[in-house]
Each structure stands twice: as C-alpha cells, then as structure tokens.
Amino acid sequence: MRVAVIVAAGGRGERLGAAVPKQFLPLGGRTLLARSVAAFRQIPTVREIVVVLPPDLAAEGAALLEPHSGGADLRIVAGGVRRQDSVARGFAAVSPDADIVLVHDAARPLVGRDVIERAIGGAARWGAAIAAVRAHDTVKEAAEDGETPPIARTLARDRIWLAQTPQAFRRHVLAEAIALGERGVEATDEAALAELAGHEVRLVPGDPRNLKITTEVDRRLADALAAAEADGQEGDGEPDEAGKLRRDGPEAREAPPMRIGLGYDSHRFAEGRPLVLGGVRIPAERGLAGHSDGDAICHAVTDAILGAAGLGDIGTLFPDTDPAWKDADSLELLRRAAAQVSAAGYRVASLDIVAIAETPRLAPWREAMRDNLASALGVDRAVVGLKGKTNEKLGAIGRAEGLAVHAVALLVAARAAS
C-alpha cells in the first residue's frame, strides 16, 4: 500500500496575530510545519509528502523545511485562495500510483503515530476516514449569530464528534471530492466534500493532544504538551470520569493489551499457475490454485492477524466472488489487513508460521519471505518466524498434491508496543 500525504500549510494564520505565518512559528525548538512533516516521515507506508505553501513562499520552500534524507519523497507546491483550492493543488502533485491520500493541517503539529495509522487503516477499510474526538461538553446550537445569542436547541453529545486531521481517503474518493469542490461546491474540509459526493466517511479515534493551533492560548497549550512529550511524560489519551487516561473510542477503551490469532490456509497445486509464497515467486512447474495469486503463507498470516484483532477473515475482506481480487497480490492484501489491524489499535508483536509441503523446500527463499512479511506488517524481521516441514509422505500433502500453512500472531495494544 502506497500512502501520500498532503500537508496543508497555505494559509497565513492571521487570528494568531504573529509576524510570520503560524506554520513557521517555533514549538519546542521546531516549527509547526517541520513537526507536522516529521510525524508522517515515521510511517513506513507513507511514500510521498506534498507540502502546500503560500504562493509567495513556495519558491523558497525547501529552505523553510528541515533537511531530510531517505524516506518519503517531499514536494512543495503553491497553494490557492481557499483551503480546498490548496488541497486540490496538492492532490494534483500526488503521484498516480498512491492508493491512500491523507490531508493534514500543518497547524496540528502534535499528531501522533497511532492517530495517523488509524486514519490510514480506516481509509483502507472503508474508503474514507477522519480522526475525531468525542465531545465531552454539552453542545448548544445557537438560534442566530452574535455575542450573546439565544439557544435554539441542545444536541445529544453522545453523537457529537470534533473533527481533526489527518483525513484519509482512497485516491478515487478524494478525487471525486476535489472535483466537486472545483465545480463550485464549498465545504470546510475534504470529508464534507466526500460526503456531498456520496461517499460514507467513518470516524476513527483521534487524540485531544492533536489540537489545532489557532489562538495564543492554543499555542501555549501546545508548548506545554511538546515539553511533556520531550520529557516522556505524555499520557495515553483523554481522561475518563475517574480521571484515568484512556484512548478514545469504544473499541480502544475495551481493547485488551494483547490478543492471539490463529491462521490456516491450504491450496492444491495447479498447472499453468505461478508459485508464489510469502511474496516470493518460486521457479516451479506448478503453482497454487486460487482466486488471488494463491499465496497460502500470506493468506494464513492475514487470517491470523485479522482473527486476533476481531476483524473477521480474509474471505470477508477480500471475497473470491469479487473480480477486483482476481489474481491479486496477496502480499498487498496482507498490507491492507495490517492497516486495518493498526486502525483497530493493535500492532504485531510476534508471528510464527509453519508451512507444510513436500515441495518446494523453503530454505532458499525463507529470508526473502521473512523480509516481505515484515515489510507488509510494518515490523522488524526478527518478529517473523517461518519454518518449513514435510508431511512425511502422508495424505494429499504427502503426495505433493498441495500444501498447507499454519500461522499464529500475537498482537499488542499500540501503546504497549510503542
């Protein structure tokens, strides 16, 4: 999965009253913009970052950003008059092979890795997702504008969420949202445009520390949070009624610290098919039958992590009745499943795989398979164990009619893994 990020930094932030655009104000020794960009550089699936700057600053944009090497490609474009114009220009600079595109406001410099990964996972699963936090204050709708307006009605706060960024979209969803904006429809964010274009947008838990710096009070709060972060004192989320810190969202609140999942898959050999295992194409006369590429190792691992996270199985997410998955790369399906596991608040802490086959022998390709699996899961190769066994000539597998794979995955809550 290839993820691109548009960092919207094309405004002036005049409400803050600073002498420079607020995205260039310092926060804990770094600018707001630099912090925002750095947050996305730590995400392995983020391959490109497009920074949208005010037109008069775009030419010198590289000098305004921190030096970088490796990781995601960085591009700078000039913004437009409105925020949605700037995002549209940023989207035009995103490479066409990006699967997921995120939009993030540079004025939210304290966005955390967990929030980013939940947004990516949500977009991969549902097409569009935004980070948001629940409203804890009673919400009143005013009958009119003004300093002391009368109350029109009181809203049920249990259904009120406060939108944050990043907002994440499958590429075609954001393309349709932007096209609607270019036809004259105005909205305060891309999620609203996506809704107007007919797409469902899901809410995933954000973080109250992911605040938007609009006023001097916001800036002072961000300074305090940044200082606490530097000292390793930051909490894990919002305080509940008992004053204890928790992550937001019902699934996150109820999630146990670790979960174990079991995956299994078997395929028969078939003529005229490539043999793909663990994302490695192995020279062989026969491959594995299947709707996708038949990669039984990836399938078993996918089921293991989805089962551990309580997200169903590979057949539910990628049904063999859907032509979209015909001959699909199973390693890419695993990446998508891993993004959903991340969105559910978990990371893979350990994975053990046993492939049972008379042929092929896995030894020559074992390390390449471990590398592929680790990359798809966003973990170190040391986390991935892979063993090959024969069936001692017993049964259909012993007769080399097919092979089978067992996988066990240990997931830990994202905060415990960090």
Averaged pLDDT score across all residues of the chain: 86
Shared domain for 340 and 200, answered yes or no, is: no
Binned at pLDDT 50, 70 and 90, residue 17 comes out as low
Percentage of the chain modeled with pLDDT above 70: 87
3-state DSSP helix/strand/coil % of the chain, to nearest 5: 35, 30, 35
Domain count, the chain: 2
299 touches 330 (CB < 8 A): yes
Question: Where is pLDDT greater, at 236 or 365?
Answer: 365
Give 256-271 pLDDT, tens digit per residue.
578 999 999 999 999 9
Shared domain for 115 and 51, answered yes or no, is: yes
Q: Which of 250, 278, 306 is the last residue of a domain?
A: 250
Q: Which of 250, 269, 289 is the last residue of a domain?
A: 250
Phi-psi region of 415 (alpha: psi -120 to 50; beta: other; left: phi over 0): alpha
Q: Which of 250, 281, 303 is the last residue of a domain?
A: 250
Shared domain for 241 and 346, answered yes or no, is: no
- Of 186-195, 198-207, 239-248, the one with minimum mean pLDDT is 239-248
Q: Tokens 């190769």 label which residue?
A: 381
Q: How many residues does the chain have?
A: 418
Binned at pLDDT 50, 70 and 90, residue 402 comes out as very high
Shared domain for 225 and 272, answered yes or no, is: no
Shared domain for 146 and 26, answered yes or no, is: yes
How far separated are the first and last CA of the chain, in Å rounded?
22
Shared domain for 288 and 242, answered yes or no, is: no
Say whether pLDDT at 36 is over 80: yes
- What is the pLDDT at residue 219? 85
Shared domain for 281 and 241, answered yes or no, is: no
Binned at pLDDT 50, 70 and 90, residue 244 comes out as very low
Residue 41: both structure tokens together = 């550089």
- Of 321-330, 369-378, 389-398, the one with minimum mean pLDDT is 321-330
How many Cα neighbours within 13 Å face the side chain of 268?
6
- What is the pLDDT at residue 256? 59
DSSP state of 210: S
Question: Where is pLDDT greater, at 147 or 204?
Answer: 204
Q: What is the CATH number of the domain that holds 382?
A: 3.30.1330.50
Q: Which three-class secondary structure string do you get for 265-330?
A: EEEEEEECCCEEECCEEECCCEEECCCCCCCHHHHHHHHHHHHHHCCCCHHHHCCCCCHHHCCCCH
Shared domain for 408 and 357, answered yes or no, is: yes
Shared domain for 243 and 262, answered yes or no, is: no
- What is the pLDDT at residue 232? 56
Say whether pLDDT at 131 is over 60: yes
Mean pLDDT calculated for residue range 269-278: 93
Shared domain for 233 and 337, answered yes or no, is: no
Cα separations in angstroms, 308 against 27, 123, 126, 372, 411:
39, 20, 20, 21, 7
386 contact partners, CB below 8 Å, separation of at least 6: 278, 297, 353, 355, 362, 366, 369, 370, 373
Give 52-103 pLDDT, tens digit per residue.
998 888 777 666 676 665 567 899 999 888 889 999 999 999 999 999 999 9
- What is the pLDDT at residue 357? 94
Binned at pLDDT 50, 70 and 90, residue 315 comes out as confident
Walk across the sheet containing 286-288 and list its strands: 286-288, 258-271, 402-413, 346-356, 384-389
Mean pLDDT calculated for residue range 347-366: 93
Q: What is the CATH number of the domain that holds 75?
A: 3.90.550.10
Residue 197: both structure tokens together = 């274009």
Measured CA angle at 130 (ends 335, 108), to 5 deg: 105
User: Residue 389's domain spans which residues?
Assistant: 258-417
265 touches 258 (CB < 8 A): no
Shared domain for 162 and 285, answered yes or no, is: no
How far is the C-alpha of 253 from the C-alpha of 205, rounded, in Å? 10
- What is the pLDDT at residue 239? 37
323 contact partners, CB below 8 Å, separation of at least 6: none
Residue 49: both structure tokens together = 């970052």
Say whether pLDDT at 418 is over 90: no
287 touches 270 (CB < 8 A): yes
Burial class (CB in 10 A: 0-12, 13-18, 19+), 360: middle
Shared domain for 376 and 237, answered yes or no, is: no
